[in-house]
Amino acid sequence: MTPHDVAGEFDAIASLTPRDRLAPHAGWLLRQIPHCNDLLDAGCGLGLTASIAADRAAHVTGIDLSPVMIARARRDYGHRATFEVADFLEYLPAHPESFDCIISLAALHHVDAATALPLMASALRSGGTLLILDILDRRGILNLPVNAFAAAVSVSRRILFRQRWSRELNAAWNAHGRGERYESAATLPGLREILPGARIRRHLIWRYSLIWTKP
């Protein structure tokens, strides 16, 4: 899928999404952000996560491929952060050693991790922190009990937070997800080979996190 295709799909999703909500386990990830000066949210979507990250960072920049996502982020959270339409694979090499923290939620699986993670590392200052949260592929019969529990928690969460999706939004997400590939227990150790010392953790609602500090 080209960046243009990804932007088009997320433009459609943004137009159908009534209001932004935090992704599963995003609250946990946000609490890992150190107090710092410059933070980048790579693939910021509608901007809620970047706006909350502004509690910990003096300057927050959110970038995303989708112009509709960025227009909404500017409208809703422009007073908390700066938002730009950009492909992070192009933006990161143009900003070497520029950030104390880079966060990226549910965006890494759209690109090749072996390309993107070193670019994120080189855009960090020494001592800076990379925080990734992305989707975990946890198929398999042995995972049935944990997946059943995760489904129950996920449904309760939606009811509790009154997260009702329209038929059109469901269809847009289903169409978007088709053919996507996610990291799994078998592939996650490969990420540690790209960023030695990275701490990788698997989370309940089909997510993994990666935390890395630049030496």
Applying CB under 6 A, which residues contact ligand SAM?
A: 3, 6-7, 10, 23, 43-45, 49, 63-66, 69, 87-89, 105-107, 110-111
Nearer to ligand SAM, 84 or 189 (CB): 84
Q: Which is nearer to ligand SAM, 36 or 63 (CB)?
A: 63
What are 214's strand-pairing partners? none
Q: What values do phi and psi take at 169, rounded to 5?
A: -70, -40
Instruction: Compute φ and ψ for 90, nearest 5 degrees.
Output: -95, -35
Q: Return the ∠ at Cα 65 (arms to 62 and 67), rounded to 5°.
A: 90
- φ, ψ for residue 161, nearest 5 deg: -95, 10
Q: Which residue lies nearest ligand SAM, judged by its C-beta?
A: 45
Nearer to ligand SAM, 95 or 110 (CB): 110
Closest CB to ligand SAM among residues 39, 111: 111
CB of 182 to ligand SAM, least distance (A): 12
Q: How far apart are CB 215 and ligand SAM at their closest, in Å? A: 26
Minimum CB distance to ligand SAM smaller for 3 or for 118: 3
Which residue, among 82, 70, 75, 90, has the nearest Cα to 38 in the 3D structure? Answer: 82
Segment holding 72, helix H or strand E: helix 67-77
Q: Roughly what angle, to the nearest 10 degrees, separates helices 3-16 and 167-177?
A: 160
User: What are the tokens at 103?
Assistant: 């966060």
- The neighbour count for residue 104, using CB atoms within 10 Å, is 24
Minimal distance, residue 86 CB to ligand SAM, in Å: 6
Q: Which two tokens stand for residue 150?
A: 């995760």
Please report how close the Cβ of residue 115 comes to ligand SAM at its closest, in angstroms: 10
Q: What is the CA radius of gyration of the chain?
A: 17
- Least distance in Å: CB of 203 to ligand SAM? 14
What is the Cα 55 distance to its own chain's centre? Answer: 18
Closer to ligand SAM by CB, 44 or 150: give it. Answer: 44
- Provide the minimum distance between the beta carbon of 85 and ligand SAM in the complex, in angstroms, as a whole number: 9
